[in-house]
Amino acid sequence: MSSRHLSSSSQAAVSFGSGYLPGFLLPPLAVIVIGVALMLVSLGTTLTPVSAEIQSSDQANLLSPVFTPEVQYWAGRIRTWAVESGLDPNLVATVMQIESCGDPRALSRAGAIGLFQVMPYHFAAGEDPYSPDTNALRGLDYLKRSLQAAVGDPRLALAGYNGGISVIGLSESNWTAQTQHYAYWGNGIYKEASSGAGQSPHLQEWLSANGVSLCRQAHDRLGISP
């Protein structure tokens, strides 16, 4: 609220309170009461929408509790990266969950690196691929491009992140088994996280299939207490 607004409200109150109303003169106490009341009305109508907007923004940036402790370890950074990339924090967390379970030193047999399992050719010369911020920058840029190619469909975007953006235009029967599983688990986890659920059956299924060892490695790497 600007000082001009406050000043104008105060002047209006003083002008109204110090004048005459038909038939009588307002006593000094009434002048003060009316002036304070007008200022409170002015403040209330101006501040309420701002508070609601801040509350809505904070709510939108909350990370779902369904993700494992290793991913929750990165919650603050995930929210920052999501804002910087213009992506939903829960979508970012879903990709981290499946790719590395939060292990910043993860390295796949195919050579994918770090938290978001980014292939080496996506990094610029001199960049540290294991740096969480750098890895997020490159990985989430690809995820954002995949989401755009998928016209906002998270399931197709996840398939594109795993199998390459070109698979988005292919029949799913032409996707590799790995990409089909990735889209199935990822989309399920993301939907459950976005719904406000307290747990994710798809995440539990992923853990049972092949995620437990990945998360155990991340758990040890991050030094998380049992």
The pTM for the full model equals 0.74
Under 8 Å between Cβ of 93 and 78: yes
| Predicted pLDDT of residue 60 | 54
Give the pLDDT band (50/70/90) at residue 2: very low
> Among residues 94, 69, 71, 56, which one has the least CA distance to residue 192?
94
What DSSP state is assigned to residue 175?
Answer: S
Fold classification of 64-222 (topology level): Lysozyme (1.10.530)
The partner residues of 118 in beta bridges, in order of sequence, read 113
Rg over alpha carbons for the chain, rounded to the nearest Å, is: 27
Mean pLDDT over all residues of the chain? 81
Q: What is the pLDDT of residues 43-90, one digit of tens each?
A: 443 333 333 433 334 445 689 999 999 999 999 999 999 999 999 999
Q: What is the pLDDT of residues 184-210, one digit of tens each?
A: 999 999 999 999 999 999 999 999 998
Under 8 Å between Cβ of 191 and 183: no
- Is 99 noted as a catalytic residue in this protein? yes
Q: Which of 70, 84, 99, 192 is catalytic?
A: 99
- Taking the C-alpha atoms of residue 47 and residue 50, their distance in angstroms, rounded to an integer, is 5
